[in-house]
Chain A
């Protein structure tokens, strides 16, 4: 079993790095072989170029755009995990760029001649979202959590409608309070270790 972790954070030395380590540890404990895609370390180009846009519907887009290694990893993933902070209710632009550029026709879905779209990542059984909340007082926390679910749900066009999303969501307290953080990390690790 293979798990692919897509990690996004400009400075992974603090809480974000711990979230990544916990995710990798949890998925390994579940018996997965874990591959990590670190978008900031790879200096991933997040903006879709005009040339890519023009060749979007053609099947060789994945090779032309220099995202071949990513599509090879995605092609054998059973579990797809995303570790990122929520910024303004959404994923960081870097991660959004990964969606725009790496999840293209031929990799994430197939376009039929009649315009119908069929999923290309049906082998992904679970989508995991590990994310940390925005600063306190910004929003009701429950709806922020729903947005993390929405983020996973938007992937179903690629994975098929039956893939479920597991959300491990750290509230604002977890990032600042040591005790809460340790409890959250061990709970996350246990939840991921139980992922079959």
Chain B
């Protein structure tokens, strides 16, 4: 089955390891016959903050935010979400957090239940989430700090997707001290996982 893959990537440096991982995801996904779209947030100059205007429109319909329409369309089109980013201060870079805050909007990713007022998932088209990230610190240091960034995707974003959505977390720890061998091995691991998603 051909899958529709949306890759969301944020890193200021086009020569970075994170960008290489993003390119790898796009290449492998294309090779196994998936349709791939990419949101390179630094490349498109994505605004890193929720403006006061957007905040006041948080409960409004998506067509009140025409500047975000292409992003809304892609996120409703895809069935696989891939996030490729570096972990900074145990979370997503601000630009990627802004993508989560702004694009996962009312009537795109969620809607309010009329009777209870609870948030109900609306991204039921998404059945797979893959996160490809790098951590500067070791795994134990990240565990101690509570892995706040992991919760944003594995807990919050995943909850907005299909109830049978499977999420996979691929992380390279201690990347600041990593060797060429470790980085290559991690890329092979990412490739192995992405090849199976087709």
* Closest beta carbon of chain B to A20's beta carbon, Å: 16
Interface contact B151-A87, CB-CB below 8 Å: no
Interface contact B48-A47, CB-CB below 8 Å: yes
Stretch at the interface among B23-31, B61-69, B153-161, B186-194: B153-161
**Residue from the list B13, B92, B157, B176 in contact with A96, Cβ < 8 A:** B92
Contact-size category for A: 35 or more
Q: How far is the CA of A73 from the CA of B91 in the complex (A)?
A: 24
Interface contact B48-A154, CB-CB below 8 Å: no
Query: Known interface pairs A88-B156, A89-B156, A154-B89. Does A96 touch B94 (Cβ–Cβ under 8 Å)?
Result: yes
Query: Known interface pairs A52-B12, A89-B155, A90-B148. Does A11 touch B104 (Cβ–Cβ under 8 Å)?
Result: no
Q: How far is the CA of A138 from the CA of B156 in the complex (A)?
A: 8
Interface contact A11-B56, CB-CB below 8 Å: yes
Interface contact A138-B119, CB-CB below 8 Å: yes
Interface contact A154-B145, CB-CB below 8 Å: yes
* Closest beta carbon of chain B to A142's beta carbon, Å: 13
Interface contact A88-B100, CB-CB below 8 Å: yes
Interface contact A154-B146, CB-CB below 8 Å: yes
Query: Known interface pairs A88-B156, A138-B118. Does A47 touch B95 (Cβ–Cβ under 8 Å)?
Result: yes
Number of cross-chain contacts by CB at 8 Å = 139
Interface contact A92-B97, CB-CB below 8 Å: yes
Interface contact B48-A99, CB-CB below 8 Å: no
Chain B residues contacting A54 (CB-CB under 8 Å) are 13
Q: How far is the CA of A93 from the CA of B100 in the complex (A)?
A: 9
> Please, which residue of chain B has its CB at the minimum distance from the CB of A150?
B146
Q: How far is the CA of A156 from the CA of B119 in the complex (A)?
A: 33
**Residue from the list A50, A100, A135, A150 in contact with B148, Cβ < 8 A:** A150
Let me know if B152 is at the binding interface, CB within 8 A: yes
Contact-size category for B: 35 or more
Let me know if A125 is at the binding interface, CB within 8 A: no
Let me know if B182 is at the binding interface, CB within 8 A: no
Chain A residues contacting B112 (CB-CB under 8 Å) are 135
Chain A residues contacting B50 (CB-CB under 8 Å) are 10, 87, 92-94
Let me know if B2 is at the binding interface, CB within 8 A: no
* Closest beta carbon of chain B to A32's beta carbon, Å: 25
- Identify which of residues 58-88 in chain A touch chain B, using a CB-to-CB cut-off of 8 Å: 87-88
Q: How far is the CA of A25 from the CA of B189 in the complex (A)?
A: 52
* Per-residue contact bits, chain B 90-102, to A (CB 8 Å; 1 contact, 0 not): 1111110110110
Let me know if A177 is at the binding interface, CB within 8 A: no
Q: How far is the CA of A137 from the CA of B121 in the complex (A)?
A: 11
**Residue from the list A91, A93, A154, A157 in contact with B95, Cβ < 8 A:** A93
Chain A residues contacting B179 (CB-CB under 8 Å) are none
> Please, which residue of chain A has its CB at the minimum distance from the CB of B157?
A88
Interface contact B94-A47, CB-CB below 8 Å: yes
**Residue from the list A53, A99, A135 in contact with B12, Cβ < 8 A:** A53
Inter-chain pairs besides A87-B101, A101-B94, 12 sampled, C-beta below 8 Å: A10-B52, A46-B94, A48-B93, A50-B13, A87-B50, A87-B100, A88-B100, A90-B97, A137-B117, A139-B156, A150-B145, A151-B148
Which 10 pairs across A and B sit closest by C-beta, in order of nearness? A150-B146, A137-B118, A97-B94, A93-B98, A46-B48, A88-B156, A93-B97, A10-B55, A47-B48, A46-B94
